[in-house]
Chains A and B, each alone.
Chain A
Amino acid sequence: MAAQPKPLPVHQPSYLEGGGIVGWLTTIDHKRVAVMYLASALFFMAFGGLEAMAIRVQLWHPDNHALSAATYNAFFTMHGTTMIFLVVMPLLLGFLGNFLIPLQIGARDVAFPRLNALSFWLALVAGILLHLGWIRGGLPDAGWFGYANLTERYFTPGLAIDWWVVGLLVSGTSTVLTGLNFLTTIIAMRAPGMTYMRMPMFIWSLLVTSILILIAFPALTIGLIFLLFDRFFDTHFYVASAGATPILWQHLFWLFGHPEVYIMALPAFGIISEVIPTFSRKPLFGYPMMAYSICLIAFLSYGVWGHHMFATGMGPVADSAFAITSMLIAIPTGVKVFSWIATVWGGSLRMTTAFYFALGMILEFTIGGLSGIMHASAPIDLQQTDSYFVVAHFHYVLFGGAMFAILSAFYYWWPKITGRMLGERIGKWHFWLTVVGFNVTFFPMHIVGMWGMPRRTYTYGADMGWTHLNQLETVGAFILGIAFLLFYINIFKSLIGGERAPADPWDGRSLEWSTPSPPPAYNFATIPQIRGRDAWWILKYGRAGSRGVAAYMSGQTPTLSQAAQPVDVEHIHMPAPSIFPLVMSLGVGTMGLGLIIDWYRIVIIGAVVVVLSIIGMGFEYADFGQESHDPEHAPSSGGIDVRKIGIWSFIGSECVFFASLISTFIVYKSRSVTGPGPEILNIPLTSFSTFILLMSSLLMVLALAATQRGDKRWERIWLGGTVLFGLIFLCGQVYEFTSFMHEGMGLTTNLFSQSFFVLVGFHGAHVAIGVLWLSVLLVAAMTGNLGKSRALSVELAGLYWHFVDVVWIIIFTLVYLMQAVPGA
């Protein structure tokens, strides 16, 4: 295929050209979205970094008063929150993931480009909400883990924690949308021939990370929703005196929080697995094992959250179980480290800055992994948890692992992203200062932690013997600060006059290097045919390493688009820009702001904006309900429409959402201190509602069948029937809720009532959304816009509707029917 490089068929403007400021605000190009993620992450990284420096200044000597206790607490909270939610995740997923997924799998964009833009704007809104405490109410100050019940309004009365709760809810929503988008993209939009076992390892890591996001974030969302209800609506989900337990927060938080560690670590592993083969001029060692180990790590990471809670008194059985599962993670992680070293072994090494950072990551991350084994041993952890030893450990994992990988990725992919090289000379300085600064800052923390210094303390006594090492750490932090300053300078210099980057500066192996630097908006003039792992390498050199070399060496760098037959790039169909993601995010931000400053009119304005922008988005394309995809990709490489995969992914995520709500209900239903309990439930009435809802599923099936055979009359009847039955169910619920109110059971009455209302209420909200969705389809059917060709639209609504019904069957069984069983 790459036989004869040809001159450029036409000028290919890069994705960065044109559009002006409006072009950026309305962009849905995955590469532009990535660049906006980058800009926002670099901005917040400066904040998080300065907060860290201020922390180190305060700890310079005992009984220091450089910062007040309140400021110090706010700074360590915001340092953690910022670095995790606004820097590392956006850099790994929003920036690198967004930019590289389509380029590495041979696609023109992600599966849902507008959703992608929405993710970014929501992430930015979340970052702003988290920082609005500077203006009013103070910065959040309860730690990034925000342990209940310290976060209850009684103990933290101001607005600070409100900003935190709402900011994280918005951020979590953005991340889940990203996970859903990435998962669908990777499943559905791989170029022909790119089987799973031919995907670049970075794509493998993002595939698994996306699944992890979808199943981990709902737990955090539920935890935050409970906290939001406690703070704003006077419920008692974490209040011990009401019979609840603050430990519930820890379970929900770490059920999210430990997978979160791997959401940050797996993409970092993926980056290293790309950089090392390129600069060793060797394929990745043990590719299948590397892919399986990613899957295994993700699987195990979902069952180890308790190792954050060894000190809470879970009992010896739970302690042992979590200790074993935590230790097991070391095995697949070890496989990765050894395989990277084996990749370097026998390689022909090109010692670039990107490679330096990748090699540095292997060693620094190994140290973090080994101290992790100590924490997995529960008794040892009891001495180390909440001490500086743990601070050392997770900085070796998150800085030595994730941040080193991110920096490596910067030097590696920057030329592709901007079309300019980063300075190698200044880069080497940056690397060595980072290594020195990082180790001088964080290694002594192991020792000072072993000497008993607790974390999150704004001051310490002079008689503890911690002073000298703290001073050493502060010196290290300043070295690290200089290193980052060099990094920002390097970026700046490259942008204003860096050396122009060729298409393939590193003799790369994956598809992104086949496009010009920076790539055109449509990425590939023709979608490449994939013949093996390291797709671009095979195209350049052939499988045996001979074919194609002559062509490659003969002068101009070939690009796939040039190598293929001339293509009229003018006619590549790309989705049109949209302003609605931005407008909708502003609406969400307005709602959050109104809620916090207690001005409900602002909430309503925000809600109206959100609803209008959803409607606007629905009608944006003349082709109603059909997002304008590249026709080559619908249906996808797997033969299934991307929207169907998207809905299934969403349903998977919703399962965890409802599972968390249901588990909470089961734990809390009989722990109320006062008031009515489960006996209040009206089982005969609800049985009727349940029957109606189940029948609506049947009507839904009939509606879809009618649409598929093009029967417009029955399509309207069955759809109308489904909507009607949904409405009857909702009316039943409204009646049930009001009668409970009359009998004296309100939301805040006791633990039973609050977990009942929140669980059943959230399900009711899902039904209501379903009714709205079906009503829109009904209107379309009435106006004759819902023909056979749009059967998929009905099918998608149907999938959602059936899911909501299935959830109701579970709720009906566990909440209502179990009451009739004695002793349940």
Chain B
Amino acid sequence: MSGRGINRYSIASITMRVAIALTFAGCSSTDRPMTTVSPKSDLANWIQSLYIDVTVWDAIILAIVVTAFILAVFVFSSRVGEAAPAATASSDLGLEIVWTLGPALVLLMISVPTIRTIFRSQPAVAPAGALEIKVVAHQWWWEFDYPDGAKASNELHIPVNRPIRLLLESPDVIHSFWVPQLGGKRDVVPGQINELTFVATVPGMYPGQCAEFCGLSHANMRFRTFVDSPDDFAKWDREQLAGPVATPATDQLASDGAKVFADSPCTTCHMIQGVSKGYIGPDLTHFGGRTTLAAGVLQNTPANVAKWIENPQEIKPGANMPPLLLPGPKLNALVAYLESLK
């Protein structure tokens, strides 16, 4: 037995794995940016390979069950009124042992890589050279604090090919951090600090979303992760530390907007370095440099910013930000100022 038998088995298995991999790959990550089957990190890759393993076994078991079902219903049985079939046994020890031990063996095959992956993906200590980023999940937005003091809101930047260790905490309710292309989710639980460790392997933008129901606007708690080349990341990090770019004196509208902001209630909740010290809402120091607004819900365009400021509740029901009743010109100035904060 059986070099040949084993060969045949592995050929079948490889064919099946390739077929499944192709199916997964068919789900292009540009059309489906939240796909779980287009891994872009070591963690996501481990999960993917386990996923393919179990899918193969599931497919084999399903095929056996469906075949047995079809044979039982359509072949090896008769209909009432037809000649009665030969009597069959009402139990069969051999068969019963087979369908107890068979699945048990399959489960053994699945459980070994499962446990290996569980331990591999949850290292007790941070890998050497890991970048530790504090992730604070709020109802309903994300805050990212870097060890060098840089702060970001709703847009996480990380360097490619460097171990990342996220330290997840929540000041309010339970949330869950999830960027499908970078790996599985990890809950953010008040009162404890959870960790998520991975190495992103492909630069790009990967959307994420809160995955644990966290109240009224749970659906509107999205964010983006940018995996940057080391140089891009270093540049971004320097900009964040530097504070806001000064508004050019020539830009009258934006300068007016700065005054509107300084006199508005915005300052109680939002920080702009050197301007205001609020900390309840997202830091706006580099607001103009972000691609999205309101925790990944809207594209960051002047029109959307104006719409948001006028009535945040319409876009994100339950958000803490009250509608700001500003006359048109002041609103335009404020928007111009915010967009100038690169």
Contacts and interface: CB of A to CB of B under 8 A. Distances in A.
Nearest to B222: A461
A792 B84 CA distance: 55
Contacts of A73: 213, 216, 218
A465 B30 CA distance: 9
A384 B189 contact: no
Contact of A69 (B96, B102, B318): B318
Nearest to B219: A457
Contacts of A349: 73, 77-80
A89 interface: no
A143 B173 CA distance: 14
Contact of A385 (B35, B78, B110, B185): B185
B192 A285 contact: no
B191 A244 contact: yes
Given A286-B96, A287-B90, A341-B65, A359 B73 contact: yes
A155 B73 contact: no
Contact of A287 (B61, B68, B91): B91
A384 B55 CA distance: 13
Given A335-B100, A464-B34, A383 B107 contact: no
Interface in B167-195: 172-174, 176, 178, 180, 183-187, 189-192, 194-195
Given A147-B174, A373-B58, A281 B80 contact: yes
Nearest to B55: A374
A69 to B, nearest CB: 4
Contacts of B58: 370-371, 373-374
B211 A454 contact: yes
B212 A245 contact: no
A743 B49 CA distance: 61
A313 B118 contact: no
A330 interface: yes
Interface string A327-340: 11011001101110
A381 B211 CA distance: 13
Contact of B118 (A155, A241, A320, A453): A320
Nearest to B217: A69
Interface string A763-778: 0000000000000000
Contacts of A383: 36, 47, 51, 180, 183-185
B209 interface: yes
Given A240-B190, A342-B95, A380-B47, 19 more contacts: A155-B215, A240-B191, A311-B186, A311-B187, A323-B118, A328-B107, A341-B69, A345-B71, A347-B88, A363-B69, A378-B118, A379-B50, A382-B183, A386-B185, A449-B36, A451-B32, A452-B36, A457-B219, A464-B34
B65 A366 contact: yes
Interface string A347-387: 11111000000010011001100110110111111111111
Contacts of B35: 450-452
Contacts of B185: 311, 382-383, 385-386
Contacts of B86: 346
B300 interface: no
A456 B90 contact: no
B245 interface: no
B91 to A, nearest CB: 5
B152 interface: no
A371 B51 CA distance: 11
A386 B176 contact: yes
Given A323-B111, A330-B103, A362-B69, A348 B85 contact: yes
A287 B111 CA distance: 30
Interface string B77-121: 111101011111011100110011011100100110011011101
Q: Which range contains the number of A residues in contact with the other chain?
A: 35 or more
6 contacts: A143-B213, A285-B92, A323-B114, A371-B58, A377-B54, A452-B32
A323 B210 CA distance: 24
B231 interface: no
Nearest to B212: A386
Contacts of B297: 461
A543 B267 CA distance: 88
B202 interface: no
A279 B96 CA distance: 22
A312 B73 CA distance: 44
A379 to B, nearest CB: 4
Nearest to B62: A370
B27 interface: yes
A316 interface: yes
Contacts of A331: 100, 103-104, 107
Closest 10 CB pairs of A and B: A382-B184, A452-B34, A240-B191, A346-B88, A457-B219, A240-B190, A313-B194, A465-B32, A345-B72, A452-B180
A634 B220 CA distance: 62
B46 interface: yes
Interface residues of B, number: 91
Interface in B18-33: 27, 31-33
A142 interface: yes
B79 A348 contact: yes
Contacts of A379: 46-47, 50, 114, 117-118, 121, 184
Interface of B: 27, 31-37, 46-47, 50-51, 54-55, 57-58, 61-62, 65-66, 68-69, 71-73, 76-80, 82, 84-88, 90-92, 95-96, 99-100, 102-104, 107, 110-111, 114-115, 117-119, 121-122, 139, 172-174, 176, 178, 180, 183-187, 189-192, 194-195, 207, 209-220, 222, 297, 317-318
Given A73-B216, A335-B99, A344-B72, A384 B77 contact: no
A463 interface: yes
A73 B216 CA distance: 7
B215 A150 contact: yes
Nearest to B31: A465
Contact of B77 (A240, A346, A386, A459): A346
A711 B78 CA distance: 71
A288 interface: yes
A366 B62 contact: yes
A285 B71 contact: no
Contacts of A288: 91
Interface in A246-260: 246-247
Given A69-B217, A143-B213, A338 B68 contact: yes
- Of residues A143, A149, A150, A367, which shows the largest number of chain B Cβ atoms within 10 Å of its Cβ? A150
A281 B78 CA distance: 11
A350 B80 contact: yes
A616 to B, nearest CB: 44
Contact of A345 (B77, B79, B173, B215): B77
A807 B47 CA distance: 46
Contact of A312 (B96, B189, B209): B189
Given A150-B215, A379-B184, A247 B189 contact: yes
Nearest to A242: B191
Nearest to B69: A341
